[in-house]
Amino acid sequence: MADVNIIGGGLAGCETAFYLAERGIKVKLCEKKKNKRNEAQKSELLAELVCSNSFRGNDISQGVGLLKKELLELNSLFMEGALKNEVPAGGALAVDRTKFSQYITEKIYGHSNIEVIDQEIEKIDENKLTVIATGPLTDGLLLNELKRLIGDEFCYFYDGSAPIVSSDSINMEKVFFASRYDKGNPTDYLNAPMDEKEYSEFYQKLINSEKNIPHLEGEKEKYFDGCMPIEEMARRGEKTLLFGPLKPVGLSKNGERHQAVVQLRAENDNKTMYNLVGFQTGLIFSAQKELIQMIPGLEDAEILRYGVVHRNTFINSPKVMTVNGNLRNFSKVFIAGQLSGVEGYVESAASGLVCGIQIARILSNKDTLNIPEETMLGALMKYISTDKGNRKLEPMNANFGLFPPLDEKIKGKKLKKQRLATRSLNFLMEFKRELDNG
């Protein structure tokens, strides 16, 4: 019989399962997608990347870069899979979407301490150590079970994915290879430049195209800034995109200046598919096709996957969850991944690792171990679990604003972030020593 039940085979569920299994703990991982997929899922693989194939910046002066460094130090399966299936992406970490998921899937199915059950879970046993990592599209009877445990403490936002085009259909004479500010390899990104007239026509088409957003009755469209559809950004003003996903700064061909530049990033290591960077969209498919084919070099683009917007549900974790990831009123039930209120691939895997760490200690008859708030991992968990008055949680990425202040005043943002990152890794090493020593 399994020691731990894990519901959901995404990044967080797989991270928890592997951490526990490596420590001799028997795990039952339940994933329903072979029998019933949601609107965002396209494959039967575990750890599927349903939005971008990018895990964002690598530099530890960025919040997510520092979090990735911490996960590496803690032997994260997510980071192992990412580094073994990396594709060029300048200063970011991006992966071959399919190979990454295949790698994680093989690790999970191949582990002797993990039993994968292809079924939908409709009932939660609150007396059994359980991790719910079913993601932001959790629905049906399982969602009703969650409501039984936590009441009405739920929040939501709308999230989107970007279209993918075939590389064979790109007119390479109209695009050019370059990484912004020459970071990374020049061939990491394809760039489609627009002049003033081309951009103006593109913009007008974009703001006047029909949307297909899955509203619930009476509900407002709420977006997370990091995943805002391009059409919603555009409605803030004609120049908004020029400071966002179509920013021309740092990208030029033979010294030319452009009004706007659309970047495309390889989806796989043999570069047969390209993702339109920052093009999350909820436009109807016919409008997406027309819009994409207005981009220079993509006039004959073959669209392999259209962008979609879906409604994301997450718990109001400050009201119901502890810093260790378990529910306050049902201590054996843990919540991991985007359902817990973190936002982003890396953050989701990180929350799964936290649940694994704490459950392993419980099963070893040890006290749970506080992860220092001076680490990005600890700061993120503290933020999503700290109840401050009547605030409702907004989904949160890793960022330096989560940290407690330094003991000294530091002039300059760059130096301050360097000091915070150094402090974080020092605290992490101490935490790791304590973890290893039991």
Q: Are residues 10 and 151 in the same domain?
A: yes
Judge whether 46 and 9 are in contact, CB under 8 Å. Answer: yes
**Quick check: 283 and 209 in contact, CB under 8 A?**
yes
Do 182 and 293 belong together in one domain? yes
CATH classification at residue 403: 3.50.50.60
Residue range 179-189: average pLDDT? 79
Whether residue 428 contacts residue 375, with contact meaning beta carbons closer than 8 Å, is answered with yes
Domain identity same for 8 and 154: yes
Query: CA–CA separation, 354 vs 114, rounded Å?
Result: 18
Write out pLDDT tens, residues 297-340.
999 998 988 887 777 788 889 899 999 999 999 999 999 999 99
Phi/psi region, residue 249 (left: phi>0; alpha: psi -120 to 50; beta: rest), is beta
* Residues forming a β-bridge with 223: 158
Is residue 83 located within the same domain as residue 140? yes
Return the structure tokens found at 385.
């679990």
User: CB under 8 Å to 167, separation ≥6 — which residues?
Assistant: 266, 271, 272, 273, 274
Exposed, middle or buried, 431 (CB in 10 Å: 0-12/13-18/19+)?
Answer: buried
Domain finish residue from 307, 332, 355: 307
- Residue 293 CB partners (closer than 8 Å, separation 6+): 299, 300, 301
Q: What pLDDT is stored for residue 14 in this prediction?
A: 98
Asked if 355 and 131 count as a contact pair (C-beta separation under 8 A), the reply is: yes
Same domain, 371 and 279: no
Confidence of residue 220 (pLDDT cuts 50, 70, 90): low
**274, 167 Cβ separation under 8 angstroms:** yes
Structural domain for 28, as ranges: 4-158+313-436
Q: CA–CA separation, 10 vs 349, rounded Å?
A: 9
Mean pLDDT is highest, among 13-27, 248-262, 297-311, 383-397, for: 13-27
Q: Are residues 38 and 116 in the same domain?
A: yes
The reported pLDDT for the residue numbered 116 is 97
160 pLDDT above the threshold of 90 = no
Statement to judge: residues 178 and 81 lie in one domain: no
In the chain, the number of structural domains is: 2
Q: Are residues 326 and 213 in the same domain?
A: no
Nearest to 190 by CA among 271, 77, 105, 75: 271
Whether 189 and 277 have beta carbons less than 8 Å apart is answered as yes
For residue 92, give the amino acid letter: A
Among 210-224, 298-312, 375-389, the range with the most confident prediction by mean pLDDT is: 375-389
Mean pLDDT of the chain: 89
CA distance 51 to 75: 25
- Helix/strand/coil (H/E/C) assignment for every residue in the chain: CCCEEEECCCHHHHHHHHHHHCCCCCEEEECCCCCCCCCCCCCCCCCCCCCCCEEEECCCCCHHHHHHHHHHHCCCHHHHHHHHCEECCCCEEEECHHHHHHHHHHHHHCCCCEEEECCCCCCCCCCCCEEECCCCCCCHHHHHHHHHHHCCCEEEEEEECCCEEEHHHCCCCCCEECCHHHCCCHHHEEEEEECHHHHHHHHHHHHCCCECCCCCCCCCCCECHHHCCHHHHHCCCCCHHHHCCCCCCCCCCCCCCCCEEEEEEECCCCCCEEEECCCCCCECHHHHHHHHCCCCCCCCCCEEECCCEEEEEEECHHHHECCCCEECCCCCEEECHHHHCECCHHHHHHHHHHHHHHHHHHHCCCCCCCCCCCCHHHHHHHHHHCCCCCCCCCCECCCHHHCCCCCCCCCCHHHHHHHHHHHHHHHHHHHHHHHHCC
Which class for 213: exposed (0-12), middle (13-18), buried (19 or more C-beta within 10 A)? middle
Looking at the fold, whether 207 and 263 belong to one and the same domain comes out as yes
Of 398, 395, 399, 381, residue with least CA distance to 322:
381
Q: Per residue in 68-122, pLDDT tens?
A: 999 999 999 999 999 999 998 888 999 999 999 999 999 999 999 999 999 888 8
Last residue of a domain, one of 278, 307, 336: 307
pLDDT above 90: residue 3: yes
Domain match, 18 and 48 both = yes
Both 296 and 201 in a single domain? yes
CATH number for position 292: 2.40.30
The 10s digit of each residue's pLDDT in 223-267 is 666 678 899 899 999 999 999 999 999 888 777 889 999 999 888
Q: Which of 307, 339, 358 is the last residue of a domain?
A: 307
Domain co-membership, 269 together with 293? yes
